[in-house]
Amino acid sequence: MTLCVITRSPAGTRALGRAVGSCLGPGAVLALSGDLGSGKTVFVQGLARGLAVPEEYYVTSPTYTLVHEYPGRCPLFHIDLYRLEGGADLDDLGLPDLLGGEGVVAVEWAERLDRTALPAAYVRVRIETGPDDERTVRFTPCGDGTDTLRKIETVVKEKQWD
């Protein structure tokens, strides 16, 4: 079961992220993958708005700190593993405590994580670059992530995301 959405602008991807954020709650984990510049951070910017993170928080990739926390309806933990260099970083990050905890977790470059580091339930979000500004965003549940995917499907299905 994979949910596939096409966007044709950064605003479209942001709106998609916002819709997804509006339906998520504590414990939800999104594992984002896709090339550099595919739109993972743009998606998380929308996600933050959907979780009611105030507009004054500008969402950027936490490249040097690895994790940013934003206050919203529940906390949003935004993680970027692009510069991850070995297990020590992961311990510093406190990842096991964040995953499945009180907040929503969005991990960029999640493919750099060992499978065992991910929780029992999460949704993989893979973004592929197409011609021009087209992006294909695929949501796939992993483990018990099916419930979360159903919620996402409900809010995402009815609209066009251009």
Query: By CB under 5 A, what part of segment 105-124 binds Mg ion?
Result: 108
Strands (E), the chain: 3-7, 29-33, 67-70, 76-80, 104-108, 121-129, 135-143
Q: Is 33 in the site for Mg ion (CB under 5 A)?
A: no
Q: By C-beta, is 32 or 99 nearer to ligand ADP?
A: 32
Q: How many CB atoms lie within 10 A of CB 5?
A: 22
Q: By C-beta, is 33 or 148 nearer to ligand ADP?
A: 33
Residues binding ligand ADP (CB under 6 A): 7-10, 12-13, 34, 36-42, 61, 108, 133, 135
Q: By C-beta, is 121 or 156 nearer to ligand ADP?
A: 156
| One residue of 18, 40, 68, 124 binding Mg ion per CB under 5 A | 40
The closest alpha carbon to 154, from 2, 23, 6, belongs to 23
Q: Is 41 in the site for Mg ion (CB under 5 A)?
A: yes
Q: Does residue 50 sit in helix, strand or coil?
A: helix
Chain centroid offset of residue 107 CA = 6
